[in-house]
Structure 1
């Protein structure tokens, strides 16, 4: 069974960026492993961080089971501070260990131009690429879009998700604690899927940048 390794800053990022592709891969019997850098404890500043963490962990587990994601690895780094957190020695070591353990067919991460306010998504992109570039074996790396505004001048590919769009939207809705944020991304993700579908001669598609 081929492994697909997905790195994300927060547990809902890949739902927006590649939820349809995940559903398609699961149907193709590929094993999905999701690596979450931070639980996103600062997403609700009026609640205790430990309460937010617990809620988001439970939410993520439920959503992963719904999608057929086989494993979710939580690195537990501080939310909104990944720029400094990734310099801690164990972070890149852990990312390397996971890549070496699963030897994925493909690796996915956010783009370097992702416009997330805290720049956490950019930090994940940087970390993953630095680790991949340090390895002897070549691993294909693709970037998915979340808070993206501008196009990147990079090779890209489209994946037809026509039969999986409803699953993607249902997956997004499962992150109920983040609904304010997810609602702001819901329609752009839907519109992008239509636009990319037209580019790819299908109804709905997701776009990925080829990084390595």
Structure 2
């Protein structure tokens, strides 16, 4: 039976790095995917002399284009300030409202257990704070009537979370059939790319590195957590 999957991202392009190949595969299988981008990523363009609003517009257009490439039609933007994401009650309220409205079966997000860095990643502060806010919204807030009663939306309990960009993976997804879609989606974020050839090489190399452990040519990995048994 097709599932409804909600993918949270701190900035435009984060989720494409973390799970676009898996998303493309899940869409092919008939699942419904919705993206929710927490901040606008306006501080992520350094060489374009444009106004903040113009940069926000560029980044949103790039993310929508990337979403279409992997088959995602719905992209929600929360418009938090780039570089200033905090795990606040106000942000959790927005997240809980979206979760209760969409009622996903599975949620994708950054791993809130990540600290500052590991052997591969340096964890951007927005990634860490967004991960914390999403997890706090998922558990226990979205499923409890005691939280955010003013939303007038029925509580919704999430049973399963897949954390991407994790240092503790327990799930590998073969993306051999969708690696090209992942690359194409990432190339939609033109404002973030200076050397396309080197960029593609890096993405292929990382997917190969992840897949090697499970004897897959290309893979993405996740930390899968069951919240309700």
Give the TM-score, by structure 2 length: 0.80
Deviations 1:104-128 (A, max 9, x none): 22111112326244x1001111011
After alignment, is 27-36 or 46-55 more displaced?
A: 46-55
Aligned mate of 2:134, from 128, 135, 138: 128
1:16/1:186 contact within 8 Å kept: no
Closer, same or farther in 2 for the Cα pair 1:183/1:127, shift >3 Å? Answer: farther
For structure 1, the residue ranges without an aligned partner over 5 or more in a row are none
Number of residue pairs aligned between Structure 1 and Structure 2: 202
Which residue does 2:149 correspond to in 1?
none
Is the CA contact (8 Å cut-off) linking 1:19 and 1:168 kept in structure 2?
Answer: yes
Aligned counterparts, 1:106-121, within 5 A: 106-112=106-112, 113=114, 115-117=122-124, 119-121=125-127
3-state SS, counterpart of residue 162 of structure 1: coil
Q: Does the 8 Å CA contact 1:5/1:106 hold for their aligned counterparts? A: yes
My pick for the range that moved more, 159-168 or 54-63, is 54-63
Alignment of 1:32-181 (within 5 A): 32-45=33-46, 46-83=49-86, 86-87=87-88, 89-112=89-112, 113=114, 115-117=122-124, 119-134=125-140, 135-136=143-144, 137-145=157-165, 151-152=167-168, 156-180=170-194
Report the Cα offset of residue 138 of structure 1: 4.0
TM-score (norm 1): 0.86
Name the structure where helix makes up a greater proportion of residues: 1
Q: Deviations over 1:55-77 (max 9, x none)?
A: 11122222222221121000000
Change (3 A) 1:201 1:60: same
Task: Say if 1:182 and 1:102 are closer, same or farther in 2 by CA, change over 3 A.
Answer: farther
Structure 2 residue runs without a partner (length 5+) = 115-120, 145-156
